[in-house]
Amino acid sequence: MTKLLPSPFSSLLAVVFISLISIVHCCSPKDQTALNAFKSSLNEPNLGIFNTWSENTDCCKGWYGISCDPDSGRVTDISLRGESEDAIFQKAGRSGYMTGSIDPAVCDLTALSSFVLADWKGISGEIPTCITSLASLRVIDLAGNKITGEIPAEIGKLTKLAVLNLAENRMSGEIPPSLTSLAELKHLELTENGISGEIPADFGSLKMLSRALLGRNELAGSIPGSISGMKRLADLDLSRNHIEGPIPEWMGNMKVLSVLNLDSNSLTGPIPGSILSNSGFGVLNLSRNALEGSIPDVFGSTTYLMSLDLSHNNLSGRIPDSLSSAKFVGHLDISHNRLCGPIPMGSPFDHLEASSFSDNECLCGGPLMKTC
């Protein structure tokens, strides 16, 4: 059989095809330049996080924390966490520490969908306002740093954003009005900053939101009524702010809400019976407010509370007998109120310590060692 030799044309096609494959999988030169500028504004002295970020290598091949689209070669993910179980942290036996700031060059990464630069403890400066031009962003996680300034006013332009985590920084200003137009947002965490002003009245427009963690800020005003329409909200934390007014009755009618932290505010009025009768709640913290009246006697056999904290209020009357019928109550604290009468017998009272009932007007029995 005659052996066919490859023609010069077919050899040329093979070379072109191989070259095209190489080009498709190479990092975009524009993105590589942007990443180098991003790196130059940061200093990580201990772990060598940026050792793989060499100007002579392809940023899509082996650069720590960088992922690219395999077809276009565009950078899609920056994932740099200062607390990780990655081998580089295990070998060093320590968490990360990084200083510097976020260079606006990150905004040249126009295909970026995830931007994680979290838990480095020392990154400061402001979030570049141009970040709102990155239309593909789905995740922004800058928690655990020393970032200052305000949430970018045009954050609402990021229509695909699902996660916004700016917790444990030093940010200030108010929640921008545009934030409530983030129709895809599922996780919002602004905990432990200096964010002030009122929660936007149309906060309930965030229909996809399942976690809203706004605790330990300087927020004021009342709880917006629009939250009642958030059908997916499972975790709401407004603790350690300056929220005032009554706890709305409708909060007990939210079907998915299971964790509610409203402690350390200036809330007044009675505890709505709907909240304590809602068997969906697992964690309920209303402590350190100015709530008054009696504890509603509405517990039942479907009540399953991992934690119920009503301490440091002005609650009066007796401990509800129905609490004894609860299926489970893990932690209970009703100390520092004006409660009176005997502590009921049986579960959950038989496994609680005296500190759960201390500093009331005239409670007796149970672990208090005070006869009735």
Largest CA distance in the chain: 110
**Mean pLDDT for the stretch of residues 57-74:** 95
Residue 15 within any structural domain of the chain: no
- pLDDT on residue 36: 96
Residue 143 within any structural domain of the chain: yes
**Mean pLDDT for the stretch of residues 300-322:** 96
Asked if residues 199 and 175 have their Cβ atoms less than 8 Å apart, the reply is yes
Residue with tokens 């009755």: 249
DSSP per residue, 82-105: SS--SHHHHHHTS---EEEE--GG
| Number of domains observed in the structure of the chain | 1
Residue 252 within any structural domain of the chain: yes
**Mean pLDDT for the stretch of residues 202-228:** 98
- How far apart, in whole angstroms, are the C-alpha atoms of residue 76 and residue 134? 11
**Mean pLDDT for the stretch of residues 158-175:** 98
Structural domain harbouring 268: 29-364
Is residue 371 pLDDT above 50, yes or no?
yes
- How far apart, in whole angstroms, are the C-alpha atoms of residue 318 and residue 312? 16
With cut-offs at 50, 70 and 90, classify the pLDDT of residue 220: very high
Asked if residues 300 and 322 have their Cβ atoms less than 8 Å apart, the reply is yes
- How far apart, in whole angstroms, are the C-alpha atoms of residue 312 and residue 335? 6
Is residue 278 pLDDT above 80, yes or no?
yes
**Mean pLDDT for the stretch of residues 12-27:** 48
Is residue 54 pLDDT above 60, yes or no?
yes
With cut-offs at 50, 70 and 90, classify the pLDDT of residue 91: confident
Report the mean per-residue pLDDT for the chain: 92
Residue 370 within any structural domain of the chain: no
Residue with tokens 């793989």: 52
Task: Name every residue whose Cβ is closer than 8 Å to that of residue 168 and which is 6 or more positions away in sequence.
Answer: 143, 144, 145, 191, 192, 193
Q: How far is CA 121 from CA 11, 41, 93, 151, in A?
A: 55, 15, 17, 19
Residue 343, number of CB atoms within 10 A of its CB? 23
Q: Which helix (H) or strand (E) holds 25?
A: helix 8-25
Residue 34 within any structural domain of the chain: yes
Instruction: Tell me if the pTM is above 0.95.
Output: no
**Mean pLDDT for the stretch of residues 121-126:** 98
Q: Which of 134, 129, 146, 84 is nearest to 109 (CA)?
A: 134
With cut-offs at 50, 70 and 90, classify the pLDDT of residue 84: confident
CA dihedral in degrees (35, 39, 42, 47; nearest 10)? Answer: 120
Residue 20 within any structural domain of the chain: no
With cut-offs at 50, 70 and 90, classify the pLDDT of residue 25: low
Which residues are bridge partners to 164 per DSSP? 140, 188
Which two tokens mark 103? 């260079």
- pLDDT on residue 212: 98
Environment class of 33 (CB within 10 Å of its CB; exposed 0-12, middle 13-18, buried 19+): middle
CATH of the domain at 178: 3.80.10.10
Is residue 11 pLDDT above 50, yes or no?
no
- How far apart, in whole angstroms, are the C-alpha atoms of residue 154 and residue 158? 8
Residue 199 within any structural domain of the chain: yes
User: Percent of the chain, pLDDT > 70?
Assistant: 93
Residue 1 within any structural domain of the chain: no
Which residues are bridge partners to 99 per DSSP? 43, 122
- How far apart, in whole angstroms, are the C-alpha atoms of residue 247 and residue 70? 51
